[in-house]
A and B are shown apart, each in its own frame.
Chain A
Amino acid sequence: SQTIHQWPATLVQPVGSPLSLECTVEGTSNPNLYWYRQAAGRGLQLLFYSVGIGQISSEVPQNLSASRPQDRQFILSSKKLLLSDSGFYLCAWGRVRDQPQHFGDGTRLSIL
């Protein structure tokens, strides 16, 4: 069966510090991978998606970036965090052709 791992679960970072969140998927190959952000009490905002190694599409302009160095690894990064980067970050994987997406447990990021 497929599993998705996301870490860390919680992160507190000062403004201006760098960020690296990692997500890995097991039990499947060539998945579509997604990074979402969810503000408290709000919906899901798609940040990045990837259909293959090294292929990243950005949905919204921001100071975040994503990379996919391996087939089942998806990384969300920032060089300098802003207060507005606080939120609940969710990684998800899915198949093509409108199949359901499966989410990791998420990372709660607080910027001080």
Chain B
Amino acid sequence: GQQVMQIPQYQHVQEGEDFTTYCNSSTTLSNIQWYKQRPGGHPVFLIQLVKSGEVKKQKRLTFQFGEAKKNSSLHITATQTTDVGTYFCAGSKGGGATNKLIFGTGTLLAVQP
């Protein structure tokens, strides 16, 4: 079945350092979504990418969707302690009424002040 893998599983950085997580799908996706889950919390939607090669920015966060629409990345510039949490990508193959997402395995980010 369709799989969405993320690397790394865990990353520990010093505050101020950059961070990147990568998301790879075994199949072509119609769109990719990114979610953040704070420790003890629930996933919160961050952004959605739809077009091949699309790049979107949210302040210090940069999201990219690969040309082949099978991979994506999230880059955080100058991490802060508020960035701590698990970042999930979620892919959709599109079509139909279900909107069924396949969530990636997640990357846990720890930021040391």
Mark A residues whose CB is within 8 Å of B: 32, 36, 41-44, 46, 49, 51, 57, 90, 94-106
Contact = CB atoms under 8 A, between A and B. Distances in A.
B104 A51 contact: no
Interface stretch (B51-59, B65-73, B74-82, B90-98): B90-98
Contacts, number: 57
Contacts of A94: 99
A103 B43 contact: yes
B98 A32 contact: yes
Contacts of A99: 99
A51 B48 contact: no
Contact of A44 (B41, B88, B92, B108): B88
A96 B99 contact: yes
A7 B50 CA distance: 34
Given A95-B99, A100-B45, A103-B43, A43 B106 contact: yes
B106 to A, nearest CB: 5
A49 B98 contact: yes
A61 to B, nearest CB: 14
Contacts of B30: 98
Contacts of A96: 96-99
A95 B92 CA distance: 13
A94 B33 CA distance: 13
19 contacts: A36-B103, A41-B108, A42-B105, A42-B106, A43-B104, A44-B103, A49-B98, A51-B97, A51-B98, A57-B98, A98-B99, A99-B99, A100-B33, A101-B33, A101-B90, A101-B99, A103-B42, A104-B42, A106-B42
Contacts of A32: 97-99
B98 A101 contact: no
Contacts of A42: 105-106
Contacts of B41: 105
A99 B48 CA distance: 8
A43 B100 contact: no
B31 interface: yes
Given A100-B33, A103-B43, A105-B42, A49 B48 contact: no
